[in-house]
Structure formats: C-alpha cells, structure tokens
Amino acid sequence: MDKSASLAGYAPPYRSSKSLEPMRALRLLLAFLPLVALADGESHLAIGPLNLRLSPGWRTTGNLQHLESHGPDGQTLIATYAAIVPDSVSDPTSKVLETARGFARDRMPGLAEKNGKVLRPVTESLLADSHVEFSAASAGKRMFRDYYFIQYLIAGKRGMAYLTVEGYAHAAKVASSFDDILTAQQWIG
C-alpha cells in the first residue's frame, strides 16, 4: 500500500487532552447532532466539521466519525470523517491533501469499477475555502434496475470526509444533484 494512502497520524476528531475552548465545544455539540431539520424544510447533515444541506426526508444514524443516512427516494449516503492528530505533523493541511490524493489515486478507482461502469473517473476539483474534492461515479444494473454508486472525498485543513451515495435511479442525474450539494458545503472552523 502506498504510504500517502495511509491513515497514520489520523484519529477521531475532537479527542485531545487539552480543555475544550468555546469553538471546539460548539463543534462537538454540532457533531452530536448529525441531522437537524431546518426551518425551510431542508435537512442539515454534519460530518465532523463539514455541513451539508440535503432535501427533506433524510434519516440519519451514526456518531462523530461515521454516519449513515437514508434519503426519501431510497438512496443511502455513508460518510466517514477522519481528522489529523493535533501537533502530529508540522503542516497538517499538506498532510491531509497528500493522504487524500493517495486514497483518491489508490482506492477510489477500484471501488468505482467494482460497482459498475465508470461514468466519471476520479476527478479533482478545488472548492470554496481552499478545500479539495475528489469524486467518481459508476452505474450498472442490479435487480433489473438502474443502480448508481458515487464517491466523494473532501479534504479540509485538518481532516477529510469520505462519502458514498448509492441507490436506484439514473446515475448522471443523481451525481449532478449531489455535486450541487457539495458545492454548497460549509466547514465549521
């Protein structure tokens, strides 16, 4: 396995022997509330410090590091967040990006191929706030229905979120919809 794809130096977010300062306490609170209904009817999904706005009707279970959410059309979103251990490297942003690129290069293509015909090979995009997104999309048939499998890896300043979305529908349409959701993502901290 390539050294850059290793998760060495990563730990669950928010574990520190230091006392919690006010921002950290806010992040911790938000992490324990993974899905909050907003006044406009949308759902707000918090994955570590990453926040996404989803359409109404999503049901979520999970914890600080791993969430599973089921959408109103039967789709499943699985999200995992890994944060770098504080003070473990001199430049955490570079280490996160290096690790994310390694995972995107070494793991995501195989997962895309395993789940059908690759519609979108792994691509890298720059998002707002200097975050980087890697994504891939696959489509196939399962149980005589159109099936899709979409992957996203979003690298932030001190951690990364890996999301998979799968279900039964036209893959290109769903990928476009989730691309829009991730373009509007927000990071706390």
Who contacts 64 (Cβ-Cβ below 8 Å, separation ≥6)? 12, 13, 14, 31, 32, 48, 81
Using CB atoms within 10 A of its CB, is residue 100 exposed (0-12), middle (13-18) or buried (19+)? Answer: buried
- Residue from 171, 179, 176 nearest 112 by CA: 171
Q: What is the pLDDT of residues 144-164, one digit of tens each?
A: 999 999 999 999 888 899 999
Considering only residues 111 and 21, tell me which one the structure prediction assigns the higher pLDDT.
Answer: 111
Residue 21: DSSP 8-state: P
Strand ranges in 41-84 using DSSP code E only, listed in sequence order: 43-47, 50-54, 59-62, 66-70, 76-84
Instruction: Tell me the two tokens of residue 66.
Output: 């791993």
57: left (phi over 0), alpha (psi -120 to 50) or beta: left
Q: What is the pLDDT of residues 47-84, one digit of tens each?
A: 888 888 888 888 888 876 788 999 988 999 999 999 88
Q: pTM for this structure?
A: 0.76
Considering only residues 100 and 16, tell me which one the structure prediction assigns the higher pLDDT.
Answer: 100
Which domains, and CATH codes, for the chain? 8-187 (2.60.120.1690)
Element (H, E) at 137: strand 132-142
